[in-house]
Each structure stands twice: as structure tokens, then as C-alpha cells.
Structure 1
Amino acid sequence: MESVFERGTDGPKVIVAAVDGSITSLRAASYAAGLARRQGAELVVVYVAGGSAMANFIPAAGAAVDEAQHDVATELRAQVETGAAQAGIRARFIERKGDPFNEISKVCTKVVADAVIVGASTSQGHRLVGSIGIRLVRAGLWPVTVVP
């Protein structure tokens, strides 16, 4: 029988925020940073560079997309480091490559996440196949907050 005093019941100690550079993901990261500050929790910000369909057709395009995604990650890392220092919170930035759902899930498992914060999808296609937020909720492994 589970106890009502399980890990995470007194507030999150490790909060994972997934970012992709979109306005909703940046709002989610801001929300997660505020929550981390109020809870005295560690903030783990994850950026996942997805594969490019163009790379299958034009090899040179794949390299350009990889470089652009790495540039986005570098900018996001700098924002996280600066913001964490200003807010006085512990934060780290993790850059991954692959399927966003799988990579975010792996990071959450590795850091023993108590909460996951993501931005709402702005893609029309996600109504059919499901957004990252919906997939994380369906996995049922962590409390997930989707920020509009």
C-alpha cells in the first residue's frame, strides 16, 4: 500500500521544463522557474533537437538544420543560466537529439522528475497525432502541466 507521504507529495524537488524556442515553451519555462524558486526545487530545462525530413532528400540541408538547432540550444542555455542566476535557483540545461517525447521521458526518469512543465502545442497536426504534452500526460509517470 502506498503512503500519502510519498516522494513529491510535499511539493516538487526536481522540475523538468521542455523548451523548443516557441513562445508557449518559453512561457512554460518561466512558469517552471517561478515554481522552482517558490519550492526551492532544482529546474532541469530540456531542449530536444528533432531530426530533419530535409536531411533525407538533401544531405547538405541536414547539416544546416543541425547547426541551426544547436544555435537555438546555445541561446536557450544562455537564457537559462542568466535567468537562474537572477532568480537564485539551481538550474541545468540538457540538450538532446531525437524524438522529443522519448528524450524528455528519458531525462525525466534519469533526474527523477517530480513535475514536468511543457508549452501547449501550436501545431494543427497535433490534434490528430497528439502533442508532447498529451503524450506525457498519457504516459502517466509524472504530474504534467501544459502552459498555454
Structure 2
Amino acid sequence: MTEQHSHQFERGTDGPKVIVVGVDGSDSSLRAAAYAGGMARRQGALLAVVYVQPVLAGGAALGASVAETTDEIAEELVAQIREATERVKGIFDIRWEFHTFRGDPYSGLRQTADELKADAVVVGASEQAGHRFVGSVAVRLVKAGRWPVTVVP
């Protein structure tokens, strides 16, 4: 009898190869990026930094200014990451790439983690009070049950 495998890749054998981290510019997401960067450095893993540009309900009325603002945030995040990696170049080498999407943060992180066959997902704890009622991105990622999820306070 042959054994059936649902995945064509094996997780957890030699440590993570791909770590996905969600950033949005908040303090907790930047701490999550630093934590994930340390994990990636120690494991020799690829760090995939994901920024999901929010689509605001009233955004259509505001026009292009919302899209321009979120584009500026994405550019600023990339600049911060480049600056941080340059500061430690030669001491610590971290392989990283930046992904940005428009839409729901959970969907963007899930899509990236699935496409890259992520071994781990790291996010910052939600700083929004309403999430205790509707569920944070971190809770939704944990409930998906596809990857180990680390929530950084």
C-alpha cells in the first residue's frame, strides 16, 4: 500500500526556509519584522515582508489620494528595511523580498504564504480595540491552520 501525501514539499525538517512577516508601519508590526528578521538570519531563511495596502470603504469618494498615501507607506517601509539591512551588512546577511497588495491583510498574507510555501508566518499583535470582537489578522491566520504563526506583542 502506498502512502498518500497532500503536500509535495516537506515542512519542519531543517528549520524554516521561508518566513513571511506582515508589516503595516505600526510599532507591533515593526517589532514582528525585527523578530522575523532574526529568525531568518539564524535559519538562513528567506524573509518575505508583506505590506497589504488597505482598501478603505470611503476610498472611492477620496479618489487617488488614498492609493497615493498607501503607495507612499509601502515605499517608506521598503526604505526602512533597506536601511536596516545596510546597517548590518557584512555582520548579518539576510535574504529578503518585499511584497505589496491592495485589499484585506489576512488574504494578502495567506496568498503570499501559500505561494511561497512559507514555513512560518509572523505578525504583530493587533493595536485596534475592535479586533477582540471581529478577530484579528493573527487569529484568522492561526485558525487557518496552515503554518505556525508567531504573534509579536
Partner residue, 2:18: 14
For this pair of structures, how many residues does the alignment match?
A: 142
- Comparing both structures, which one devotes a greater share of its residues to helix? 1
2:47 to 39, 43, 47: 43
The 4+ residue runs of structure 1 with deviation greater than 6 A are none
Distance 2:19 2:151 in 1: 13
Structure 2: unaligned runs, 5 residues or longer? none
Distance 1:18 1:68 in 2: 18
Partner-residue secondary structure (3-state), 1:78: helix
Q: Is the 8 A contact 1:24 1:121 kept in 2?
A: yes
Partner residue, 1:77: 78
Deviation of the 1:103 alpha carbon:
1.2
Deviation of the 1:100 alpha carbon:
1.0
Distance 1:84 1:142 in 2: 26
Distance 2:116 2:29 in 1: 20
Report the AA paired with residue 41 of structure 1.
A
Distance 2:49 2:136 in 1: 18
For normalisation by structure 2, the TM-score amounts to: 0.87
Partner residue, 1:131: 136
Deviation of the 1:9 alpha carbon:
3.2
Deviation of the 1:7 alpha carbon:
2.1
For normalisation by structure 1, the TM-score amounts to: 0.90
Aligned-residue Cα RMSD (Å) equals 1.4
Report the AA paired with residue 143 of structure 2.
R
Structure 1: unaligned runs, 5 residues or longer? none
Distance 2:73 2:40 in 1: 23
% same residue = 54
Deviation of the 1:22 alpha carbon:
0.4
**Bigger CA drift: 81-90 or 44-53?**
81-90
Report the AA paired with residue 7 of structure 1.
R
Partner-residue secondary structure (3-state), 2:85: helix
Report the AA paired with residue 95 of structure 1.
T
